[in-house]
C-alpha cells in the first residue's frame, strides 16, 4: 500500500506514507492497516493529512505556576498532560505557548517553535522546566547540563520494593530498533546514570526519589524498568496491570484501586539545582507534589 500511494500522491514520499499508515492516518475500508497491505479491487482508501506545524509559536493565555524568575531564567511547574513544545498532533496548548504569552523575553537558540527551552519533560511527567530569557543565558545553562553540573531530582511511585534500598543505575540508553518511540538499555547507547533512594515501602509499590546525573530521553522510566521496578502507570515501560499477577486478593484490590486513580506515569520532577552562571549563586528550585501523588500515597497508606 505504501508503494501504491506514494506513486499516486506526488507530494508525499514513500517514507511519509509509511509513517501515516503506522499512525492510523490512512484507512482501508474504514479500518487501520499496514504498509505492506496488498491493495485489492474496490478497496476504499482514505488518507487524512495532519495539520502542518505552525511556523512560529502563538502565545496562549494558559495559567503558569512560576517557581523562580530573574532577568536570565524562569522556572515553571509543568502539569502532567501538558506538552512542552509543539510536535506531531500537539500544536496548541503547549508550555511554550504559555511562556510566549507570559513574556517576550525568551532566547532564540531553541528555534522558532522552542523559544527559551533549555530542557524538557515528557507530556505525562509533571514538574520543573527551566527556560532561558537570553541567548547567552541559554548556552551557559546548556553547557552546565552538558557538563553534568545540573542536578535534577524526581519523585516516583514504582512497582515492588527495590533492593538494595538505594543504588546507582549506570547503564547506557539507546533507541529501540523495534519501536522508534521507545528507548532501551543497550551497550551501543549513550552513557546514562540514575541514583535512586527508596523512601517508603507499601508492599506492592514503593515511593522513591531519584537524582539524574545525565539527561537521556525517558531515562528514569527506562532505568527503573531495567531493574524490574517500572514507574506505576507507565504503560510504555511495563508499569501497568501485569504487576498484579501472583498477588493476594487484598494486594490485587489495592493495586487496582491505585491504578483507577492513575492517568499517567507517576513521575514528578520536584527539584533542580545548579550554580547560577551569572551570579555564582547556588540555585535550588522545588515543586510541590501534585494532587494525584498525594492521593496515591494516601490510598497506599490506608491500604497497608
User: In whole angstroms, what is the distance from residue 256 CA to residue 275 CA?
Assistant: 43
**97, 56 Cβ separation under 8 angstroms:** no
Q: Work out the angle between the directed axes of helices 291-303 and 249-261 (0-180°, nearest 10).
A: 170
The gap from C-alpha 190 to its chain's centroid, in whole angstroms, comes to: 18
Distances (CA, A) of 279 to 71, 91, 137, 274, 282: 11, 36, 11, 11, 9
- Report residue 156 as a C-alpha cell: 516516583
Measured from the Cβ of residue 38, the count of other Cβ atoms closer than 10 Å reads 7
- Kindly list the strands in the beta sheet with 45-47, ordered across the sheet, starting from the edge strand earlier in the chain: 31-32, 26-28, 45-47
In the set 43, 70, 122, 187, the catalytic residue is 122
User: In whole angstroms, what is the distance from residue 27 CA to residue 83 CA?
Assistant: 27
Q: Is 43 a catalytic residue?
A: no
**How many H helices and E strands in the chain?**
7, 14
DSSP secondary structure code for residue 93 in this structure: S
Listing DSSP states for 232-274 in one string gives TT-TTTT-SGGGGTT--HHHHHHHHHHHHH--S--EEEEEEEE
DSSP secondary structure code for residue 223 in this structure: H
- Report residue 1 as a C-alpha cell: 500500500
What amino acid positions are annotated as catalytic residues? 122
Amino acid at each position: 500500500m505504501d508503494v501504491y500511494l506514494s506513486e499516486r500522491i506526488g507530494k508525499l514520499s514513500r517514507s511519509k506514507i509509511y509513517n501515516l499508515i503506522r499512525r492510523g492516518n490512512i484507512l482501508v475500508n474504514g479500518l487501520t492497516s499496514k504498509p505492506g497491505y496488498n491493495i485489492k479491487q474496490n478497496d476504499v482508501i482514505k488518507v487524512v493529512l495532519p495539520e502542518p506545524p505552525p511556523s512560529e509559536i502563538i502565545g496562549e493565555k494558559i495559567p503558569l505556576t512560576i517557581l523562580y524568575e530573574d532577568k536570565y531564567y524562569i522556572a515553571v511547574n509543568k502539569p502532567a498532560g501538558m506538552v512542552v513544545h509543539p510536535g506531531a498532533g500537539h500544536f496548541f496548548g503547549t508550555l511554550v505557548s504559555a511562556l510566549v504569552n507570559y513574556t517576550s523575553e525568551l532566547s532564540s537558540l531553541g528555534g522558532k517553535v522552542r523559544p527559551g527551552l533549555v530542557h524538557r519533560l515528557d507530556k505525562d511527567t509533571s514538574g520543573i522546566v527551566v527556560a532561558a530569557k537570553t541567548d547567552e543565558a541559554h548556552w551557559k545553562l546548556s553547557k552546565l547540563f552538558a557538563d553534568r553540573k545540573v542536578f535534577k531530582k524526581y519523585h516516583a511511585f514504582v512497582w515492588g520494593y527495590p533492593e538494595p534500598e538505594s543504588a546507582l543505575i549506570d547503564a547506557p540508553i539507546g533507541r529501540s530498533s523495534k519501536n522508534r518511540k521507545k528507548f532501551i538499555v543497550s551497550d551501543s547507547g549513550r552513557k546514562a546514570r540514575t541514583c535512586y533512594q527508596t523512601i517508603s515501602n507499601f508492599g506492592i509499590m514503593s515511593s522513591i526519589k531519584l537524582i539524574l546525573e545525565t539527561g537521556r530521553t525517558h531515562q528514569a522510566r527506562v532505568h527503573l524498568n531495567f531493574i524490574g521496578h517500572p514507574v506505576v502507570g507507565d504503560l510504555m515501560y511495563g508499569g501497568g496491570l501485569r504487576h498484579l499477577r501472583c498477588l493476594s486478593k487484598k494486594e490485587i484490590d489495592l493495586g487496582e484501586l491505585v491504578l483507577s486513580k492513575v492517568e499517567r506515569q507517576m513521575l514528578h520532577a520536584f527539584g533542580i539545582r545548579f550554580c547560577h552562571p551569572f551570579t555564582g549563586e547556588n540555585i535550588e528550585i522545588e515543586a510541590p507534589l501534585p494532587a494525584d501523588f498525594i492521593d496515591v500515597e494516601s490510598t497506599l497508606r490506608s491500604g497497608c
